[in-house]
Amino acid sequence: MSTQDELRTGRPPVVDRATWQAARDELLVREKAHTREGDAIAAARRQLPMVEFDSTIEVVGPDGPTPFIELFQGREELLAYKHMWWDGAPHQGQCEGCTMSAWHMKDIAPYLNARGVSLAFLTTGEWPEVAAFTEFMGYTQPWYSVRGLDEPIGGEMGHVTSYLRDGERVFLTYSMTGRGNEATSPVFAMLDTTPYGRGEAWQKNPEGWPEGQHACWYWRVDSDGKPTWGPTGRPAPQWTRPGATPEGTLGRQGDHH
C-alpha cells in the first residue's frame, strides 16, 4: 500500500476503513439534510400559482402546424425542454449545453409517460433545420418549432418548463434555467461523487488538487476526444453519431463560445 509520503501533493489523508467510515457517516448527516430540504423545495414548487394561456396556439412539427394542447398527448402534464438554436449553423454548431441536456433526456419519456407526464422539445429553429438536426442526433422524442411565439411557449430558450392541462385549458406551472437545468443531466451528480468532481475552476478543492478549468469545458470535444471550444469541436455526443466527421467551422457567428 502506498504511504502518504508517496502520494502526490494535495491528496486527502490516508486512513484505516473505520476512520473513513466515521468521516463518511458525518458527511451523510449533511447529505440527508440536503435531501430533506430538496423535498421541501419541491413541495413549494408544486404549490406555485399558474399562468393560463391559449391552448390552441400552434407550434410546427413533423405534421405541420399543431395546436399546443396536442403536445400533452392526452395526458394532464407536460414537461418541455426549450433548446437554443443557431439559425443556419451545421449540426456541430448547435448549442452544446442544450445538446447535453437533450442527450441525457433521450430515454426518460417512458418513465414520464408512466407517471402521466408527456415530454416535448421546443426550439426557435425553422422546422426543416430542426428536422435535419434531430434525425442526425437520432432523437425520437417529439420536437417542435416555436419560432416567432412569445412566452410561455416560445420566448427565451434554455429553459425547462412544466405545463398542466385541465380539459381544454392549459397552464404554465414552472420554469427553470441555468444551474437548475442540471436536473436534466445526471452526469453532474455522478461527477460530484468523484475525487476531482467536474474539474472546473469554481469548485472548492484541496490545495494541490488539479487546477480546474472554465465551466463546462468538456461539453465540446474534437475528433480525438480532447475538449475544445474552437471551430474543430462538436458537442461531445455527436461523435457517436453515424456520419460525424472532423469539421473546421462551427458555421455560426463568431465560431467560438
Cell of 28: 451523510
Q: Is 179 helix (H, G, I), strand (E, B) or coil?
A: helix
Residue 96 to residues 40, 93, 126, 151, 222: CA-CA distances in angstroms? 32, 8, 19, 23, 13
Percentage with pLDDT > 70 across the chain = 95
d(CA 165, CA 129): 30
Which ranges in the chain belong to alpha helices (H)? 17-46, 96-104, 109-114, 127-137, 187-191
Residue 78 to residues 21, 103, 115: CA-CA distances in angstroms? 43, 19, 11
Are the C-beta atoms of 164 and 48 separated by less than 8 Å? no
Q: Is 171 helix (H, G, I), strand (E, B) or coil?
A: strand
Residue 74 reports pLDDT greater than 50: yes
Residue 254 reports pLDDT greater than 90: no
Decide: pTM greater than 0.85: yes
* Interval 179-219: pLDDT, tens: 999 999 999 999 999 999 999 999 988 888 888 898 889 99
Q: How many CB atoms lie within 10 A of CB 131?
A: 16
* Interval 80-129: pLDDT, tens: 999 999 999 999 999 999 999 999 999 999 999 999 999 999 999 999 99
Q: What is the pLDDT of residue 207?
A: 83
CATH fold of 47-178 reads Glutaredoxin (3.40.30)
In terms of phi and psi (left: phi > 0; alpha: psi -120 to 50; beta: otherwise), the region of 31 is alpha
Residue type, 235: P
* Interval 15-72: pLDDT, tens: 999 999 999 999 999 999 999 999 999 999 999 999 999 999 999 999 999 999 999 9
Q: What is the pLDDT of residue 6?
A: 67
Chain mean pLDDT for the chain: 93
Confidence of residue 4 (pLDDT cuts 50, 70, 90): very low
Q: Is 121 helix (H, G, I), strand (E, B) or coil?
A: strand
Q: What is the pLDDT of residue 5?
A: 52
* Interval 128-180: pLDDT, tens: 999 999 999 999 999 999 999 999 999 999 999 999 999 999 999 999 999 99
Q: What is the pLDDT of residue 149?
A: 97
Give me the phi and psi of 237, to 5 degrees please: -70, -15
Q: What is the pLDDT of residue 255?
A: 52
Q: What is the pLDDT of residue 12?
A: 85
CA nearest to 118, candidates 141, 101, 134: 141
Q: Which residue has the higher pLDDT, 229 or 79?
A: 79
d(CA 95, CA 157): 11
Q: What is the pLDDT of residue 165?
A: 98
d(CA 113, CA 215): 33
Confidence of residue 1 (pLDDT cuts 50, 70, 90): very low
The structural domains of the chain, with segments of one domain joined by +, span 47-178
